[in-house]
Amino acid sequence: MMLEPFQYWLGSGAGALVGFVLGLVGGGGSILAVPLMVYLVGVTNPHVAIGTSALAVAANALANLVPHARKGNVIWRCGGMYAFAGAIGAFAGSTIGKAVDGQKLLLLFALLMLVVGAIMLKNRNDIGDPGASCHRENAPKVMAYGGATGLFSGFFGIGGGFLIVPGLIAATHMPMVNAVGSSLVAVAAFGLSTSFNYALSGLVDWWLAGAFIGGGIIGGWLGAIASTRLSSKKGALNTLFALLIFVVAAYMIYRGIGEL
C-alpha cells in the first residue's frame, strides 16, 4: 500500500500523540493509534492499520519503558510474568482477529473500551499497595490475567495497555504509577507478537510504522514526565485514563455504526 508523503508526516504527528498518551497512562496508545491511522492518516484497510499500529505501539512502549525504569516505576517480575503469558495469548487472538471483518473489530473494540473505562473510573481513588510484588502465591493469578489480556489484545490488534493496567492492578493491587510503568513491558510483548502475525499476512506498512515510531519517541518522553508529576495527585491518572477511553470509544462507535 502506497501513501502520499504528507500522510507519513501525519503519521509522525499521530505517533507523537500516541507516544505521549502511552508514556502518560501506560495504555491508550493503540486505542488512539488504530483510529488515527484509519481516520487521520487515511489507511483504508483496517487490518493494515491494526498490524502497523501494533508494531509502532510496541516500539514506542520499549522507548517509553526507559524513563519509567529510571524513575523506579517498573516492577520487572510482574511485567515479565504478565508479558510472557500475554504474548502467547496475543498470537492466538491475532490469528482469530485476522479472520473477522475489520469494521466489526473496531466496533467491538469500542464497546469493550467503555466497560474498562467504567471500571477504572469506579476505582479511581484506590491508591494501591506500594509494596506490591509478584511471587509464587499470586503467580497463577498474574499469568491468568496476562493470558486473557493478551488474547483480547491480539484479537483486537492492540498493544493492550488499557487492559494491562487494570489487569496488573487487579492481580497485584500495585499503585497506578507502577502499573503504568510495568504495563509497558507487556505492551511491547503483545504488540510484537500481534504485529509479527499480521506481517506474516503482509498486513504491515513498514514505512508508516517508522514514521509513527519516530514521533512516538518524542511524545513518550514528554508523557513519562507528566505521568510522574500527576501520580502525586490521588486518582488523577485513573480519571484521565478513563475519560480518554470514553471519548475515543464514543467516536469509534459513531463512525463504526455509520460504516456498517
Q: Which residue has the cell 480519571?
A: 239
Q: Residue 146's pLDDT is what?
A: 92
> Is pLDDT of 220 > 60?
yes
Overall number of domains in the chain = 1
**In this predicted model, which residue has the larger pLDDT, 27 or 64?**
64
Q: Residue 238's pLDDT is what?
A: 65
What is the number of residues in the chain? 260
Q: Which residue has the cell 479511581?
A: 124
Considering the chain, what is the average pLDDT of its residues?
A: 81
- H-type alpha helices, the chain: 5-25, 29-35, 46-70, 76-97, 102-122, 139-156, 161-172, 176-200, 206-230, 236-259
Q: What range defines the domain where residue 115 resides?
A: 5-259
Identify the band that residue 1 occupies on the pLDDT scale cut at 50, 70 and 90. low
**Cα-Cα end-to-end distance for the chain:** 23
Helix axes 5-25, 206-230, angle to 10 degrees: 30
Q: Which residues contact 85 (CB under 8 A, 6 or more apart)?
A: 142, 143, 144, 146, 147, 150
Compute the average pLDDT of residues 213-231: 81
Q: Residue 124's pLDDT is what?
A: 60
Q: Which residue has the cell 505501539?
A: 57
Compute the average pLDDT of residues 120-142: 74
**Residue 37 and residue 140 in contact, taking contact as beta carbons nearer than 8 Å:** no
Q: Residue 30's pLDDT is what?
A: 64
pLDDT digits (tens, 9 = 90+) for 36-62: 888 889 888 888 888 898 898 888 788
- For the chain, what percent of residues have pLDDT higher than 70? 83
- H-type alpha helices, 26-138: 29-35, 46-70, 76-97, 102-122
Q: Residue 244's pLDDT is what?
A: 74
Task: Count the Cβ atoms, other than its own, within 10 Å of residue 255.
Answer: 17
Q: 3-state class of 258 per DSSP?
A: helix
The three three-digit cell numbers of residue 114, written as one number: 467503555
**In this predicted model, which residue has the larger pLDDT, 245 or 189?**
189
Identify the band that residue 153 occupies on the pLDDT scale cut at 50, 70 and 90. confident
**Residue 78 and residue 143 in contact, taking contact as beta carbons nearer than 8 Å:** no
Compute the average pLDDT of residues 227-245: 70
Q: Residue 171's pLDDT is what?
A: 87
> Is pLDDT of 251 > 80?
no
> Is pLDDT of 88 > 80?
yes
**In this predicted model, which residue has the larger pLDDT, 245 or 68?**
68
Kind and range of the H or E run holding 101: none
- Nearest CA to 24 out of 246, 184, 133 is that of 184
